[in-house]
Amino acid sequence: MSAQHPSNAVNFCQACAVRNRAICADLDREEIELLNAIGRRKTISPGEQLLWEGDEAVFVANVIHGILKLSTHSAEGKEQILGLAYPSDFLGRPFGSTTPYSVEALTEVQVCLFQRADFDRFAREHPRLEHKLLERTLTELDRTRRWMLLLGRMNAEQKLASFLLETADRLQPATCSFVAEGDASVIELPLTRQQIADVLGLTIETVSRQFSRMKNEGLIAIPSRRGVELRDRQRLEVIAI
Amino acid sequence: MSAQHPSNAVNFCQACAVRNRAICADLDREEIELLNAIGRRKTISPGEQLLWEGDEAVFVANVIHGILKLSTHSAEGKEQILGLAYPSDFLGRPFGSTTPYSVEALTEVQVCLFQRADFDRFAREHPRLEHKLLERTLTELDRTRRWMLLLGRMNAEQKLASFLLETADRLQPATCSFVAEGDASVIELPLTRQQIADVLGLTIETVSRQFSRMKNEGLIAIPSRRGVELRDRQRLEVIAI
DNA sequence: CGAGTCTTTGAAGCCCTTCAAGCGAAGTGG
DNA sequence: CCACTTCGCTTGAAGGGCTTCAAAGACTCG
């Protein structure tokens, strides 16, 4: 537990990995001090849960590093993953009473955690923060709506191609593993096959079959369980459109 | 064309039907004057389009009355409806360069239209408005994510039941047609069968078959093409969960 | 190594789509 | 006023893609 007492707290924000990308980016030195005082760092292990769907909304958080999944369940217990959260993303539901989805760490994760009440108060008093949060929420809404097209109108092949391309894009800035040949790139999937199925609204068997098919067609290579090499980005893009 | 010249404009906002529900609700008299000056009323007929997917984001708007659909297209031309906009809802993409979806009127519609540049400037200078917009965007994001569960994990029957219940809920405050018996209620669908299919990620035939099936099972009655009576709300809710 | 978990592969079945045709209400023109 | 067209909706039949059920293979970690 890395809780900090404001009085003698180090100012973590100064050296924060997402200082320039998260919603706190536009705050000045003084504001950062205040925000630093109400937040605390927390480390979460893969599989650990941070927020519970339906719970009273007590916490909000910034992702500093690692990847988390946001998910909900149908009545029959089928999971639907609503999205993934990457570094600098914001988690939780400010200005609301209940958390609308569960949040679970997929990798080793570090977040900057706030009591929602503290955060709400701070946000209302600092329009620059609210503005950043608004921009981020609007972007997230755009992304979520694009995902609706995937869920509603794509077949399994298109869904997996889209997923691989988007994952590669979102992983890029984090890993910074640029390859000289523009085409080939290896990514480390943050999800199991089952979780990929839950993202795409498919079953694990269908996902596995699509992986095999793409491998046989030379679209991808599968060096390890979690590793995927996009061997033919162009054709993947044509499939995903 | 109901464009207003600021100098001699009537203040429409004072008597606006959504004055207390839209994002302008918290503004004071002076702020409303300013907002009134940069906005104008516009009437749109069913089938007319207000925003085009991919276009430069020039306009944003508040819905005053009527219903619109937000939609996008897959590469093969299949439509996916991303959501419906009802009175007091906000349309368009502030602080962004391109409109991420098309917007088309389903009924006779009246909106309060703003040049995006004007609106962005006003919003940045009036945190109360930005706060309202943030709350609305967060709510919309929650709703959109719930819809992902529908698209990804529900079968045709569950999808249609969910759609009918949500439509009944969102239509309620507008029509205010409360029936003494808590159970029965007739709604006027704002969508054709094809459009319902596009909302639910189904084909028109499947939607039609589900309507027929629900009618035969006594869940609903279909007094006219657009009319639906929810005869057994409880059972519909059990199906939709 | 052996237990457990994750993944792959096969076979059968079902739900939804696709293709096709018919129905019914509204509108048009002779 | 009634043929004729049009448009939205319904219904049927066949096919396909994904799911379900089942089992075996592959990797991980004590």
If we measure between CA atoms, which residue out of B9, B29, B10 comes closest to residue B19?
Answer: B29
The Cα–Cα gap between B32 and B16 comes to: 11
Whole-number pLDDT of residue A207: 98
Question: Quick check: B155 CB within 7 A of strand D?
Answer: no
Question: Does residue A179 form part of some domain?
Answer: yes
Domain boundary among B110, B126, B150: B150
A203 touches B at CB < 8 Å: no
Say if residues B38 and B122 touch (Cβ distance below 8 Å).
yes
Residues contacting B95, CB < 8 A, separation 6+ = A134, A135, A138, B120
| Whether A60 and A114 share a structural domain | yes
Position with higher pLDDT, B180 vs B186: B186
Question: Quick check: B225 CB within 7 A of strand D?
Answer: yes
Question: Does residue A45 form part of some domain?
Answer: yes
Question: Does residue A58 form part of some domain?
Answer: yes
| Residue range(s) defining the domain that contains residue B123 | 6-150
**How far are the Cα atoms of A161, B55, B213 from residue B190, in angstroms, in the given order?**
35, 26, 21
Q: Tell me which nucleotides of strand D come within 7 A of a protein CB.
A: 8-13, 17-22, 27-28
Amino acid (1-letter code) at residue B184: A
The Cα–Cα gap between B238 and B97 comes to: 43
A101 touches B at CB < 8 Å: yes
| Whether A228 and A121 share a structural domain | no
By the 10 Å C-beta count (0-12 exposed, 13-18 middle, 19+ buried), A159 is classed as buried
| Whether B22 and B136 share a structural domain | yes
| Whether A11 and A126 share a structural domain | yes
Question: Does residue B22 form part of some domain?
Answer: yes
Whole-number pLDDT of residue A7: 44
Which DSSP letter does residue A184 get?
-
Whole-number pLDDT of residue B173: 62
pLDDT at residue A12 tops 70:
yes
Whole-number pLDDT of residue B3: 45
Give the confidence band of A69 by pLDDT, cuts at 50, 70, 90: very high
Question: Does residue A93 form part of some domain?
Answer: yes
Whole-number pLDDT of residue B171: 87
In the numeric block, the tokens 């997402």 are attached to: A18
Question: Does residue B1 form part of some domain?
Answer: no
Domain boundary among B118, B150, B182: B150
B173 touches A at CB < 8 Å: no
pLDDT at residue B181 tops 70:
no
CB contact under 8 A, A153 and B78: yes
Give the confidence band of A10 by pLDDT, cuts at 50, 70, 90: low
Q: Which residues of A touch B152 (CB under 8 A)?
A: 80, 151, 200-201
Say if residues B123 and B174 touch (Cβ distance below 8 Å).
no
pLDDT at residue A205 tops 90:
yes
CB contact under 8 A, A151 and B95: no
Domain boundary among A97, A115, A147: A147
Amino acid (1-letter code) at residue A131: H
Amino acid (1-letter code) at residue B207: V
Percentage of residues of chain B with pLDDT beyond 70: 91
pLDDT at residue B7 tops 60:
no
| Whether B20 and B107 share a structural domain | yes
Q: Report pLDDT digits (tens) over B48-80.
A: 999 999 999 999 999 999 999 999 988 777 888
| CATH (domain of A97) | 2.60.120.10
Whole-number pLDDT of residue A2: 44
CB contact under 8 A, B100 and A151: no
| Whether B227 and B146 share a structural domain | no
pLDDT at residue B9 tops 60:
no
CB contact under 8 A, A80 and B153: yes
* pLDDT, averaged across chain B: 89
Question: Does residue B181 form part of some domain?
Answer: yes
B179 touches A at CB < 8 Å: no
pLDDT at residue B140 tops 70:
yes
Say if residues A141 and A87 touch (Cβ distance below 8 Å).
no
**How far are the Cα atoms of A53, B19, B123 from residue B10, in angstroms, in the given order?**
47, 15, 22
